[in-house]
Amino acid sequence: MSFHLQQATLRANPAYKLVLYDRLPAEEQKALDELRHDPDFYGFLVPIEGTLAMKAVCRETALLFLTLQNPGSVPTYVQKLYGGAWEDDLFELILDDVIEVEVGGQFHSGAAAQALCGKSAPISKGHIGRLSMAALQYGEALGITKVPVLSRRLYDFNRLPATSEWHRMIPDHSALLAYAGIQPDGPVQSKLQRHWIAVAHSRANGWLTWTNQNPATAIRPDSMIYKLYVSPHPSCLADALAAAIATFTECAVPNFKLGSDLYGILRPDKLIAYFSSLEEVMAVADKLKLRLTGCPAQGVPFTGELESSGLLSWGMDPPQVPSIAWSPMESWRLWITNHLASALIAARLAPATGLSPWEFAMARIRLANVDPETWTPLPSLRWNLPDEEG
């Protein structure tokens, strides 16, 4: 970091007040009751006025917020508590408007602090990187102020429109199977029947899902989940799917899924395979590159590029074990777009700076331990998981 927080003066954001969970009105306590199951949970930062959002905070953040009620330098205990990453962790709180930093005689947070501290936004690399930056610029231009709505628009970026021509070609589920090359007596269906088990009811969730017949390939529930995205243009779906299923079968892939309707195959992440290690993802991707040479790509934003056209990319989900009951599991891309949407909206609502909202979002996601140049997890990424037993 070119700007060093060790010499800076900090203060708790006076636009917030810290409220212990037990001091919330009874109705709010009831609505947020599940938060009490998180052992680190303390309470909320509640905005006194203005456009700031209410934030749930842990005990460590609450202690720092109380410590910095009077402006001062970084407390010694913070450096000891967070170790070598303390400056990034603290700057994350500044970008999130929890703590303010003094620059030029005034206190700033959020996008203003990012710009004034001289931190430039990273630039994404490759075809998928350009798609991802275009998605952020599109998201900024929409002017949406609700995080879930904006997150979904970012998530859906690069989905193809369901034109009348597509509807004529694929009017129903049977037509979709035929278009994808999964005819009842065809070679692809034969391979599926010999080596795979179709997961019942998955179609209701928008997917056709298959799991390997060999139970030894199953991914443990407490394992990290690595994903290979295969993103052919829908016009060559049948050839790409046949090549993918052949490769998945040869490599004993645990499971994979395909969009179950017209809208599912028009989305960029129409075909996804699941693994328990990144090494397995890379091995299968290397085989697929050879089989899919010349296949036109669509490309999945906010994923790690494995091939220059954007045909193959990867991501990483947390283990499917929620740390607390109220917290739903998020996919890799949804987790990213939720963070990006929050940053875009915060930057749009902040006073004007020399940094555009999409640039602020790029800088902010790095502090969430995602490399925005490649859209891959940084080694420092740690999911919030329960302690292992035994």
Task: List pLDDT tens digits, range 17-76.
Answer: 998 888 888 887 777 777 777 788 888 898 887 767 788 888 999 999 999 999 999 998
Question: Can you give the pLDDT at residue 202?
Answer: 79
Higher-pLDDT residue of 318 and 73 is: 73
Strand positions, DSSP E, the chain: 10-12, 16-20, 41-47, 55-58, 99-103, 106-108, 196-198, 207-212, 225-230, 255-259, 271-275, 304-305, 312-317, 370-371, 376-377
Look at residue 105 in the predicted model and tell me its pLDDT. 87
The predicted structure's pLDDT at residue 323: 43
Domain boundaries, the chain: 1-88+100-110, 164-298
* Residue 36 to residue 22: CA distance in whole angstroms: 10
Residue in this structure with the two tokens 């009348």, named with its chain if needed: 164
Q: Is the pLDDT of residue 372 over 80?
A: yes
- Residue 148: pLDDT over 50: yes
Neighbours of 263 (CB within 10 A): 16
- CA pair distance 19, 79, nearest whole angstrom: 25
Q: Note the pTM of the prediction, 2 decimals.
A: 0.80
Strand boundaries in 220-347, DSSP class E: 225-230, 255-259, 271-275, 304-305, 312-317
Give the pLDDT band (50/70/90) at residue 117. Answer: low
Tens of pLDDT, residues 100-109: 998 888 898 8
Give residue 383's pLDDT: 56
pLDDT, one tens digit per residue, over 153-175 is: 999 999 999 999 999 999 999 99
Taking the C-alpha atoms of residue 285 and residue 307, their distance in angstroms, rounded to an integer, is 9
> Tens digit of pLDDT for each residue in 325-337?
334 457 889 999 9
Superfamily of domain 164-298: phosphothreonine lyase (3.30.2430.10)
Mean pLDDT of the chain: 87
